[in-house]
Amino acid sequence: MQNTLILNGYLPQNSINKIESFIGQHETLLQNLASRDLSHNSKKALFSDIAHFIVWYEARFKETFVVRFITNSALQAYRDDSEKAGLSPKTIIRRLSSLRELVKEAKELKLLDHEPFRKLKAPQVQPLAPKSLTESDCRKLLREIEIRNNLRDEAIVQLMLGAGLRASEVIALKREDIEITERKGFALIRSGKGNKTRSVPLNSTIRPLLLEYTKANPSEGALFVGQRGGLKIPVTLNKILDFYAKKAGIHCHPHALRHTFAYSYLKHNPSDIVGLAQILGHSNIQTTAIYTQNRLEDLQEKVEF
């Protein structure tokens, strides 16, 4: 299990060394968490949060941690110490959410028979919409890709920025998943979150770009390939995007492109949350509704009157 966590990039070696005892006692529990239908970054955050709690617990209570030691009093002490350490409410909430997932899995495996979160109150945070790229940042990013004339990278970025695809969905695309005619086009997403299949419309910027790319790269199989064949994990897209973002002098991650698409869609179709949910592959419309919230930069602009 240790090698699995390292090879998949969920935890660095130094973190694994600190929770080696827990890993040895709860291998099945961790394997179940690692096999969940989550993005690579979500799994990294999940395991990092769990490791942080274990290290904190053993330092605080001077005993080796096992999962049944997760109690309401321990969680309250963890929350209080996190607040005293100056962690943001958002970070505390995320870490507690990760521990909820650990508890949920432990209860399914009958490693826990109590509910440690029953009386716990998490910090309250004013909800804000996810961050996205400004029009200026988008222009700078696309310019850097165009300058280098890399059709593959431009197509990858446009599928996230102009169609709202997740990084994992872009990587999973095959040649036969793309259907383009003169006036319309679709991408068939077979491995979306929750293993749902959906068709995503492609706009007039993406269609000719994909046609040009596939014509220049006619091989079968994975749509996007590297030197060793099809791109395998979302980390690859992180590296590709990070390269161009640094050249453009901006900060950007793959999911920010998806967020940018969502805001742009609602800007041009302000009442069509249902349509956006269909494109993004959201089962719950409340998940999509977060894009109707103000971003922090929106509020900043509004107070400058």
Q: Which of 94, 193, 198, 295 is catalytic?
A: 193
pLDDT in tens, 26-46: 989 998 998 887 777 888 899
pLDDT in tens, 272-294: 999 999 999 998 998 898 888 77
pLDDT confidence band for 131 (50 / 70 / 90): confident
In which element (H, E) is residue 172 found?
helix 167-172
Q: Which residues are paired to 225 by β-bridges? A: 230
Q: Cα–Cα distance between 15 and 3 in angstroms, integer?
A: 13
Burial class (CB in 10 A: 0-12, 13-18, 19+), 185: buried
pLDDT in tens, 83-97: 999 988 889 999 999
Is 268 noted as a catalytic residue in this protein? no
pLDDT of residue 66: 92
pLDDT of residue 161: 96
Is 44 noted as a catalytic residue in this protein? no
Q: Which residues are paired to 188 by β-bridges? A: 199
In which element (H, E) is residue 186 found?
strand 185-189
pLDDT in tens, 232-271: 766 788 889 999 999 999 999 898 999 999 999 999 999 8
Is 291 noted as a catalytic residue in this protein? yes
pLDDT score of 8 more than 90 = no
Q: Which of 40, 166, 207, 259 is catalytic?
A: 166
The region that residue 221 occupies, defined by phi over 0 for left and psi between -120 and 50 for alpha, beta otherwise, is left
Q: Which of 255, 259, 263, 265 is catalytic?
A: 255
pLDDT score of 1 more than 70 = no
Q: Cα–Cα distance between 89 and 2 in angstroms, integer?
A: 31
| pTM score of the predicted model | 0.66
Q: Cα–Cα distance between 156 and 169 in angstroms, integer?
A: 10
Closest by Cα among 257, 61, 271 to 159? 257
Q: Which of 258, 259, 263, 265 is catalytic?
A: 258
Is 193 noted as a catalytic residue in this protein? yes
Q: Cα–Cα distance between 205 and 162 in angstroms, integer?
A: 8
Which parts of 217-271 fold into alpha helices (H)?
234-248, 254-268
pLDDT score of 213 more than 90 = yes
Is 78 noted as a catalytic residue in this protein? no
Whether 252 contacts 241, CB under 8 Å: yes
> How many Cα atoms within 13 Å fall on the side-chain side of residue 278?
7
Is 265 noted as a catalytic residue in this protein? no
